[in-house]
Amino acid sequence: MLPTIEWKGKHIRMIDQRKLPGRVQWVVCKNDKDVVRAIRSMVIRGAPAIGVAAAMGLALGSEAVKATAYDAFDRGFREMAERMVKARPTAVNLRWAVERMILLVEQMAGRDPEEIRITLREESEKILSEDIEINLKIGEHGNRLVPRKAVILTHCNAGSLATGGYGTALGVIRAAHDAGKKIKVIADETRPWLQGLRLTAFELMEDGIPVTVIADSAAGSLMHQGKVDLVITGADRIAANGDVANKIGTYQVAVLAKENKIPFYVAAPLSTIDLRIKSGDTIPVEERDSTEISHFRNIRVGPPGVKVFNPAFDVTPGKYVSGIITEAGIAKAPYQKGIKYLFKNR
């Protein structure tokens, strides 16, 4: 299993996910601005992985905050943190990681900036290791929901490439496979970036887990034919009422699953749940560049000047979600109560 992101000496390197599966290529980030560019340009993606990248980016960037006194360091660090948090608006893990790093700096008020820099790097390494451990726990809890023999449909990529390692939705799938269950996976291709085709299929094939890729529009037909037993996806942000923001196309998969009486589960760490957001109606949805739709590999495929609407995510109401799988357990409806219970007992 390839590491998604890691420290390499004084720099950070991450797999360029735009190049997979054809080529494994590393992008080296030498400062926080490089990390912001990598997040915005989809070099690294997936809510947990973006959170790890943000924490590492702030630790890396702190080296360039040339201050010998705490107050000056704090001002420079906060300016950098504000730039980082704007890199991608929907994935709440990014803000969570930034706020955790800011809190660490606050707790070290009055200390030598060099000591703070060292502690920031240690904290970013801790966030990475915690994420991997969290994913393993998500897999353990989610495995209980997977029958001994099952066909699982997933959308986008919520595997090791979208996290610090192991994965959320694919973490559940990996845990079921490791438990000896006879599972097969159907992966939506996931337009326009084809994360299902390029990344999910790549990960599962590397692990020897049977996978078949379908066009996004084929999911409903397969469900109607009884060829899907359950659906598991990841999430970029979950509201306090159980509404889920995830890669565009997730909502229609959830509606189709409900119509065909198929369980629809969401696997995500508690850090993806935003208790400050009461419902999905107020989750910010990023709209990306029109060329992601009108072009393919920099070749125009649509007529010149055609209007394009390109939201990166959609919001699935909690009523379509059968359960939210976290490292603290599985929340069920009513989600206001179920989610609060998880936070209380984590």
Helix, coil or strand: residue 7: strand
> Which tokens belong to 87?
């890199």
Q: d(Cα 71, Cα 69) in Å, to the nearest integer?
A: 6
End-to-end CA distance of the chain: 28
Write out the H or E segment, with its range, that includes residue 28. strand 26-29
Give the position of tokens 């709209």. 287
Q: What is the 3-state secondary structure (H, E, C) of 201-226?
A: HHHHHHHCCCEEEECHHHHHHHHHCC
Among candidate residues 260, 164, 189, the one with its CA nearest the CA of residue 221: 260
CB 53, CB 35: distance < 8 Å: yes
Torsion angle in degrees (nearest 10) through CA of 67, 71, 74, 79? -90
Q: Which residues pair with 230 in a beta bridge?
A: 152
Helix, coil or strand: residue 245: strand
How many residues make up the chain in this entry?
A: 346
CA distance readout (Å), 223 to 197, 240, 247:
19, 29, 20
92-95 long-range contacts, CB within 8 A, separation 24+: 92/47, 92/236, 92/237, 92/271, 92/272, 92/273, 92/274, 92/277, 93/47, 93/48, 93/50, 93/51, 93/54, 93/236, 93/269, 93/271, 93/272, 94/39, 94/47, 94/50, 94/51, 94/54
236 is known as an active-site residue: yes
**Of 236, 243, 274, 314, catalytic:** 236
The angle at the Cα of 190, spanning 186 to 193, to the nearest 5 degrees, equals 140
Provide the annotated active-site residues. 236
